[in-house]
Each structure stands twice: as structure tokens, then as C-alpha cells.
């Protein structure tokens, strides 16, 4: 395996070396697989167990949890508030075009630090359906970069 086929591990001091060694380990499994009957299964399984343990150790120090919708509420006739399971990145606000509330005309969108998306519009009712379609850029996310997936649901 060529090391360039693996993604970069990021800005680590020895990131290039880590990627090179991982590619070498995978290449060794490929060599064993060609030489030994059943070697592929044993060697690949052992290496997969190692990489899985590495990923588990990393998950303990990183936020991999995707924010999910907790509530969708019509706050008043001009505002709908969507609350998420965790705080959102306030520096990233999706385009208004990525949000619909029924057939209402929308005029603004903000993201606050309490994990809420606040959308303003005209004549919003509790019977309206709220839809967020994840845009190509400026999508909703938590501070760790975990993206909110597209969703649809009725307001309460």
C-alpha cells in the first residue's frame, strides 16, 4: 500500500512518519495474505484489532457526537426556535435558503451558544413543518466540527 492512499493524520509532529508506518503495516498484511493460506484473515484481523483500539483511545479525547434536534418550537408568530442536544458553533450560520418553515417567508437566522437555531419569518404557526437541508458550506455544526444532518419535523 502506498502511504499517499491513506489520509493525513493531521498536524502531528510525526504525522508523516505515522502515515508511512501504517501503510507499511498494511503492506505487510497484504504480503502475508499472498504467501499463506488463511494468512490474510489472521494478519488482517490482528492489525484491525490494533487500529480499532487506537480509534477507541482517540474517541475518549475527541468529540465525535453529532448534534441532534431536541425540540422544534414556534416561539411566537415571527420566531421558531430549534434546540439541539449540545451547543452549536456560533461562528457558522447557514444560509437562509437551507431552511424552510412551511411556505412562510423567512427573514433571518441566528445560532446562539445555547445550542439553538433561531429563525424569524412571517406568520409562523405551530402547524408548520420545519426543514433544514444541510448546505454545501456553512452547515450547522458543534464546536468540534460535527455536522448537523438534514432534518424535517413539525413545530410544536
> pLDDT tens, 6-30?
888 777 778 888 888 888 888 888 7
- Cell numbers given for 78: 415571527
Q: What are phi and psi of 85, to 5 degrees?
A: -70, -10
Q: Which of 16-30, 54-68, 72-86, 100-114 has the lowest average pLDDT?
A: 54-68
Res. 32: pLDDT tops 80: no
Give CA 52 to chain center in angstroms: 20
132-to-80, 109, 148, 149 alpha-carbon distances in Å: 12, 12, 9, 8
Res. 61: pLDDT tops 60: yes
Average pLDDT over residues 20-44: 76
Q: In what order do the strands lie in the sheet with 116-121?
A: 69-76, 79-84, 116-121, 106-112
Res. 39: pLDDT tops 60: no
Strand partners, 110: 118
Share of the chain above pLDDT 70, in %: 96
* Residue 139 backbone class (left: φ over 0; alpha: ψ -120 to 50; beta: rest): beta
In order of their start, the domains of the chain are: 3-59 (no CATH), 69-154 (2.60.40.1220)
Condensed to tens digits (0 to 9), the pLDDT of residues 106-149 reads: 999 999 978 899 999 999 999 999 999 999 999 999 998 899 99
Amino acid at each position: 500500500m502506498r502511504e499517499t492512499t491513506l489520509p493525513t493524520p493531521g498536524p502531528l509532529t510525526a504525522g508523516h512518519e505515522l502515515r508511512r508506518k501504517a501503510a507499511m503495516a498494511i503492506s505487510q498484511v497484504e504480503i502475508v495474505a499472498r504467501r499463506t493460506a488463511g494468512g490474510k484473515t489472521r494478519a488482517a484481523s490482528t492489525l484491525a484489532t490494533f487500529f480499532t483500539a487506537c480509534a477507541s483511545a482517540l474517541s475518549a479525547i475527541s468529540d465525535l457526537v453529532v448534534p441532534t434536534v431536541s425540540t422544534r418550537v414556534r416561539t411566537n408568530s415571527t420566531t421558531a426556535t430549534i434546540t439541539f442536544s449540545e451547543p452549536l458553533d456560533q461562528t457558522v450560520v447557514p444560509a437562509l435558503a437551507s431552511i424552510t418553515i412551511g411556505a412562510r417567508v423567512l427573514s433571518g437566522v441566528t445560532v446562539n451558544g445555547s445550542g439553538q437555531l433561531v429563525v424569524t419569518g412571517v406568520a409562523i404557526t405551530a402547524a408548520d413543518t420545519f426543514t433544514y437541508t444541510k448546505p454545501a458550506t456553512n452547515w450547522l455544526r458543534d464546536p468540534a466540527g460535527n455536522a448537523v444532518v438534514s432534518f424535517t419535523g413539525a413545530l410544536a
